[in-house]
Structure 1
Amino acid sequence: MRKVIPSLLVCAAALLSAPTLADTLRMECPPSREGRQFCNDIKQRFEAQTGHTLEFIDLPRASDEKLSLFQQLFAAKDSSAIDLFQADTVWIGVLNKHLLDLTDRVGSMRDDFFPSAWQNNVVNGRVKAVPAFLDTGALYYRKDLLERYGEQPPKTWDEMARISTRIQQQEREAGHKNFWGLVFQGKSYEGLTCNALEWVASQSGGDFLTQDGAITINNPQAAQALDKAAGWIGNIVPRGALGYMEEESRAVFQNGDALFMRNWLYAWVLTQDSSSAIKGKVGLMPLPAGDEGRSLSTLGGWQWAISAYTKNPDAAFELLKIVSDAKSQREGLTLMGWPPSRIALYDDPQVLAQVPYLASFKEIFARAIPRPATQTKRQYAQVSRAIYNATFNVLRGSSDGATAVAGLQQRLERIKAREWR
């Protein structure tokens, strides 16, 4: 027995000192040449730092198809399907129980990211993802026309309406008969939920729901915001905008037929393309404020999340740290135009020298607010549908703001029932 015990101790020591067996992790990779370059650089860094192997998988481009696939994989608790992936801003609540809890691992990272983007990924006090890249609503404007008519970029929605009315009239009198003051996404779909949130929140009407899930939409300020937007239709906004999504709005603006456009940041590069009729004539700014001086925009973008079923959560988290660090975010911006989620990069001279227009995005992101998706979890699709349908009815004139917000309050309360789930 005396000889066996030392042998056992030697074996135990050997096991404790033995290196962890290498795993193969699987990560989503954008299906483009630039995306592959980004992923290959991540692979090189990850494998050199950890000794693990990284493989890539392609996922559907369409957001709804991608979410459906994830729901199928996670329902089966498939641990080999994927470890790290990008989740849309409004998916975190929907996929909550399938996402690895990062709370105890990311405490030191929080202050490096825009607060609203970080908060979007917190469900019931637990951090479920890290912001990958950002997007938000912004106001595009014709610099040349504002200068021609002696106007400044509007600070409020009322100023925007006044300037639009004046310049629209004068442009039409000058022969530009199909010129409009403003275009936005007015179709009854998710994009209208984003616009409605911006109008209502900037008018101090709240965010539809509080962070703890209480429904607050039935208030005079929210009703006033919807009525104000409805007053633009047919006056400074074409009635056809009730069928516009992002690209329809951009087509009108980029063709030179509108003074202002509410759209996402992707449109900036396209307006500056050599084929653009308004290249060099476009300005970009935060959305106008409401009557009480608040300028707010809807948060978009994507988040890095880890499957709760990963076989190696430690290695998956090391991978997440690499893809979300400053080096990777610089590369994502360079290769794919992903606006960084790290605040410091918006003051980085190297980044701004490469992408000068990024400086104007910092203030816009600082004012971005999440949609009420994290609170409403799997019921967000129903919530958004109720919001955009109620808003659409006001815009087309079949309801007024007060009636719409009262009905929306009741509708959301029925969807919630006892609690969001």
Structure 2
Amino acid sequence: MIPQEIIRRKRDGDELDAADISSFIAALAAGQLSEGQIGAFAMAVWFKGMSRAEIVDLTLAMADSGNRLQWTDIDRPIADKHSTGGVGDNVSLMLAPIAAACGLAVPMISGRGLGHTGGTLDKLESIPGYIITPDANLFHKVVKEAGCAIIGQTGTLAPADGRLYAVRDVTATVDSIPLITASILSKKLAAGLETLVLDVKVGNGAFMADRGQAEILAQSLVEVANGAGVKTSALITDMNQPLADSAGNAVEMRNCLDFLAGRKKDTRLETVVLAFAAEMLVKSGIAASSDEAETKARRALSSGKAAEVFARMVSMLGGPADLIENPDRYLARAPIEKPVPAARSGWLAACDARGIGVSVIDLGGGRRHPADRIDHRVGFSELLPLGTRVNAGEPIALVHAADEAAAERAATALATHYRITEDRPELTPVIAGLV
């Protein structure tokens, strides 16, 4: 196999056969390709696309680049959810323990931030001691005993995707339907899932800003996953504003703990979390209808059972057992917290969600290069939702920054990301469709 020949053929728009794709991915997993070659391949795919057969071959090759997990000793349905990435999207952190509290086993393989979007693993690393990449035995034990485990890719689980994922992040090739499909599904196939629910984001803060493109991606994911034997559906959700009222790492973890403790109710975030919980429970046969499933999910949340599952997962993976009760003892705070005043009186009518994500990176809460270290303390909290009436000078968010200069830059930037109008806006629903 000559890597540059495969790159050239894809650059010229040729369809690669299964052997070409398999050999290229095997070389990638073995560390035999340079970052330049990986980036060139990703860019060729970005420009020329892939046929459905190529996407299936790429997904299977990446899933087979490492071990596949087995759950034969667990008598619960094996289920998971994955998001295509957003700003303030910490749904997985609450959804996994809710689903587990309702009777599912959730081995959730998550990723780091891509581009302007946050990463579940980066948020979990805000928790001192939490083991992101446990060995296979510990991962299995946590899923079996706690009901869920949210971890990153180990060196033996879809290793080809791990390297490709990092290069895509810094080469402007994140928003490629074939690469997104293969990246997501290779990890899910390797995780041994029976059912999967996908959150395909659409809007100015998503990789797919266009509804039509989001539907194409959702269809690609659903068709490839179902074709590989995993019962899969996808919800298309709005990402024209941050989903949670926080964007960052430790600040989103605090938001998660507040949610599990019952302090975050009647929000867009709650709507999405419960919708995905319901879809997972129906898809897995735990509930016969969406209404029954949502009732089960609400009960798991209000009873505190979901919080107990989350606490046990954290403790078993090396984190503090009393994190939910004492978040301030463990989650580091940025030294500077600065309110962002509204520029004028009126209604918060629109925002640049992508710009908010980029501002988190500028604060140090994301990466420009794969090896960059993240400052987990920084970000934004107390973000007001669109449709809120504000007065001039009233805070619309709180900046968390490492120093005064960074806080001032971020506050100025955030204010420009919001449009305030005299008329009350018409807002789009947070759940846009089902595939």
Same fold by TM-score greater than 0.5: no
Return the structure number with greater helix share.
1
Give the TM-score normalised by structure 2.
0.23
State the structure with more CA Rg.
Answer: 1
